[in-house]
A and B are shown apart, each in its own frame.
Chain A
Amino acid sequence: MNDPLLHLLDGLPSARLDPDRANRIRTRCHAALVQHRNLASRPARTVGRWPPIAVGLGGLYLTEVLRQVLALYGIV
C-alpha cells in the first residue's frame, strides 16, 4: 500500500468481539452445517412416487364429478 492515507487506515485498530458471542456464532454455524449435511446424506425419499398417484386420484375424482353432473341433467 503506497498511499500514505490508506496506510494510516491500515494501521487503525481492529474491533474486539466478545468471545462468548464469537463462540455462540461458531456453535450455531456448526449446528447448521451438521443439519445441512444430514439432510444431504439422507436417502432419496419416495416423494417422487406421490405426484402420479395424486394426479390419478384427482382424475378419478373429476371423472366422477362429471358423471354425477351429467346424470343430474339426465344426459347419461
Chain B
Amino acid sequence: MSRGGVSCVTTPMDPETELALVERLRVGDEAAFDTVYDALNIRLFTFLLRLTRRHDVAEDLLEETWLRLVKHAHRLQPDTRLGAWLFTVARNLHVSYIRSRLIEDSAAAGLMTLWPFSVERSSPFEATAANELERRIERALAALPPASREVLLLVGVAGLDHSDAADVCGITPVALRQRLRRARTMLARALEAETRAVKSLLGEVTP
C-alpha cells in the first residue's frame, strides 16, 4: 500500500484536458490512453480492492474495466467524464461479480455448513495498516453494507464530487447526499463501537 491519500496518486484533469483526451481516445490514441491510465489506475484499483477485499478479484475487475474503455472508446460521447465513466464500469462489474458469487454461494451453502472454520477474511488494507486508527477505519469500512461503503469510497477515498459519484451509483445527487450522510453516521458509530471495545479490553488487562 502506498501512503498519503488520494492527492498523491491522481493527476488532476481539467475539463479541457479531459475533453481532448476523450477526443483522442475516440480515434484510438495510445498516448491518450496512457495518460488516463496513469491518472486513474491506482484510484480504480484501490476502489475495487476495498469493495472486493480480494487482490485477485480486484485485479481481474480492474483489467476488465480498462478493456471495456478501449472497446467502447470510439463510441464515447465527446463530453464523457472519464473518471465517472470508469468508476461506473468498475462498480457495475463488481455488482455482476457479487451476483455471480451469490449464485455460487447459494449452490455451495449446503457444503459450507459442514465446514468447521470461519471463512471470514480480513481486508488486505487491514493487514498492512500503519496504525491502530487505520486498522479500525478499515474494519469499520469493511463491515458497512455495500451501498454505504461504496459512497464513502467514491467520495471520501476516490475523491469524486457528489455529481460524479451519483452518476456512478445511478442515483440523483440528492439521494447520493442522503446515502452519504447515512453511511457517514454508520461509519462514525462503528468507529465509536470499536473504540469502546478497545477501551473495555484495555480496562480488563490494566490492573
Contact = CB atoms under 8 A, between A and B. Distances in A.
Interface of A: 1, 3, 5-6, 8-18, 21-22, 24-26, 28-30, 32-34, 36-37, 40
Interface in B123-177: 124-125, 128-130, 133-134, 137-138, 141, 152-153, 155-157, 159
Contacts of A32: 67, 70-71
Contact of A12 (B7, B37, B125, B155): B125
Nearest to B48: A15
Interface of B: 1-9, 27-30, 33-34, 37, 41-43, 45-46, 49-50, 58-59, 62-63, 66-67, 69-71, 73-74, 124-125, 128-130, 133-134, 137-138, 141, 152-153, 155-157, 159, 184, 187-188
A36 B37 contact: no
Given A5-B188, A12-B5, A14-B43, A28 B63 contact: yes
Given A15-B1, A17-B59, A30-B33, A5 B6 contact: no
16 contacts: A1-B156, A6-B156, A6-B184, A10-B157, A11-B4, A13-B3, A13-B128, A14-B2, A14-B4, A15-B42, A15-B125, A17-B45, A25-B37, A29-B33, A29-B66, A29-B70
B67 A33 contact: no
B30 A33 contact: yes
B67 A29 contact: yes
Given A5-B184, A14-B1, 13 more contacts: A11-B4, A11-B5, A12-B137, A13-B1, A13-B3, A15-B1, A16-B2, A25-B62, A26-B34, A29-B67, A29-B69, A34-B30, A40-B27
B32 to A, nearest CB: 9
B84 to A, nearest CB: 18
A15 to B, nearest CB: 4
A3 B59 contact: no
Nearest to A6: B156
A12 B138 contact: yes
A12 B59 contact: no
Contacts of B28: 33-34, 36-37, 40
Give the 4 A-B CB pairs with smallest separation, nearest first: A9-B156, A37-B28, A13-B1, A15-B46
A10 B30 contact: no
A6 B137 CA distance: 11
Contacts of A6: 152, 155-156, 184
B37 A29 contact: yes
Contacts of B8: 14
